Structure 1
Amino acid sequence: MERSLFENRVHGDALFPLSVYRVEVTGDHLFPCHWHDELELNLVQEGNALFQIDAGGFEAAAGQAVFINSRELHAAYPAAHAPCALHALVFHPSLLAGVGYDDLQNRYIAPVLRKDYALPSLILGEADWEKELLGHLNAIITLEAAQPFTYELLIKARLYQIVALLIANSGRAAARKNFGAQQEQLARIKTILQYIQTHYSERIRIKDLAAMEHVSEAHFCRFFKQMVRKTPVDYINYYRIQKAAQLLEDDSKKITDVGMDVGFENFSYFIQTFKHYMKLTPSEYRKRRRESLSGNEPEAPPSL
Structure 2
Amino acid sequence: MHYLDYNEKQAHGTADFPLAYYYVDEHHPRYHMPFHWHKETELLRIVEGQLRLSLDDREYVVSAGELIYIGEGVIHGGEPENCIYECAVFDPKPLLMHTHAIRRYLYRIQRRQIQILMRFTQKQPEILTRAETLYGSLRKKSPGWEMTSLGALFELYGMIFDREYYTPCASGDHTQGKLKQLKPVLEYMELNYQSPITLEDLSRLAGMSSKYFCRFFRAVIHRTPIDYLNYYRIERACYLMATEDISVTEAAYRCGFNDSSYFVRAFKKYKNVTPRQYMQRLEKT
- CA distance in 1: counterparts of 2:41 and 2:267, whole angstroms: 31
Residues 58/46 of structure 1: CA separation in 2 closer, same or farther (3 Å cut): same
- More relative contact order in 1 or in 2 (CA 8 Å, sep 6+)? 1
Contact 1:117 1:167 in 2 (8 A): no
Unaligned 5+ residue runs, structure 2?
A: none
Specify the alignment match of 1:59 in structure 2.
61
- CA distance in 1: counterparts of 2:43 and 2:234, whole angstroms: 27
Q: Deviations over 1:211-246 (max 9, x none)?
A: 334544332211111111221112101211222233
Farther off after superposition, 242-251 or 20-29: 20-29
Contact 1:206 1:217 in 2 (8 A): yes
- CA distance in 1: counterparts of 2:207 and 2:138, whole angstroms: 48
The AA in structure 2 aligned to 1:21 is Y
- CA distance in 2: counterparts of 1:19 and 1:113, whole angstroms: 20
- The answer as to 2:27 corresponding to 1:32 is no
3-state SS, counterpart of residue 263 of structure 1? coil
Specify the alignment match of 1:95 in structure 2.
95
Aligned pair count? 280
- CA distance in 2: counterparts of 1:150 and 1:10, whole angstroms: 22
Residues 214/117 of structure 1: CA separation in 2 closer, same or farther (3 Å cut): closer
Specify the alignment match of 1:118 in structure 2.
115
Contact 2:182 2:206 in 1 (8 A): no
Aligned residues: percent identity? 28
Q: What's the offset of the Cα at 1:52?
A: 1.4
1:250 aligns with one of 240, 244, 250: 244
Specify the alignment match of 2:220 in structure 1.
227
- CA distance in 1: counterparts of 2:183 and 2:208, whole angstroms: 16
Instruction: Give the TM-score taking structure 2 as reference length.
Output: 0.87
Q: What's the offset of the Cα at 1:36?
A: 1.0
- CA distance in 1: counterparts of 2:140 and 2:43, whole angstroms: 19
- CA distance in 2: counterparts of 1:245 and 1:234, whole angstroms: 17
The AA in structure 2 aligned to 1:110 is Y
- CA distance in 2: counterparts of 1:213 and 1:118, whole angstroms: 25
- The answer as to 2:1 corresponding to 1:4 is no
- CA distance in 2: counterparts of 1:156 and 1:193, whole angstroms: 33
Contact 1:45 1:63 in 2 (8 A): yes
- CA distance in 1: counterparts of 2:148 and 2:206, whole angstroms: 48
Specify the alignment match of 1:207 in structure 2.
200
3-state SS, counterpart of residue 201 of structure 1? coil
- CA distance in 2: counterparts of 1:228 and 1:181, whole angstroms: 17
- CA distance in 2: counterparts of 1:44 and 1:4, whole angstroms: 20
1:108 aligns with one of 105, 110, 132: 105
Unaligned 5+ residue runs, structure 1?
A: 293-304
The AA in structure 1 aligned to 2:185 is I
Contact 1:69 1:113 in 2 (8 A): no
Question: After superposition, where does 1:14-53 map in structure 2 within 5 Å?
Answer: 14-24=15-25, 30-53=32-55
Instruction: Give the TM-score taking structure 1 as reference length.
Output: 0.82
RMSD: 2.5
Specify the alignment match of 1:165 in structure 2.
159
Residues 16/172 of structure 1: CA separation in 2 closer, same or farther (3 Å cut): same
Residues 38/3 of structure 1: CA separation in 2 closer, same or farther (3 Å cut): closer
Residues 28/109 of structure 1: CA separation in 2 closer, same or farther (3 Å cut): closer
3-state SS, counterpart of residue 36 of structure 1? coil
- CA distance in 2: counterparts of 1:85 and 1:134, whole angstroms: 17
Q: Deviations over 1:42-65 (max 9, x none)?
A: 222223332211122223232221
The AA in structure 1 aligned to 2:84 is A
Q: What's the offset of the Cα at 1:139?
A: 1.3
Q: What's the offset of the Cα at 1:273?
A: 1.6
The AA in structure 1 aligned to 2:179 is L
Residues 250/118 of structure 1: CA separation in 2 closer, same or farther (3 Å cut): closer
2:230 aligns with one of 237, 254, 259: 237
Contact 2:41 2:70 in 1 (8 A): yes
Contact 1:52 1:58 in 2 (8 A): yes
Q: What's the offset of the Cα at 1:276?
A: 2.8
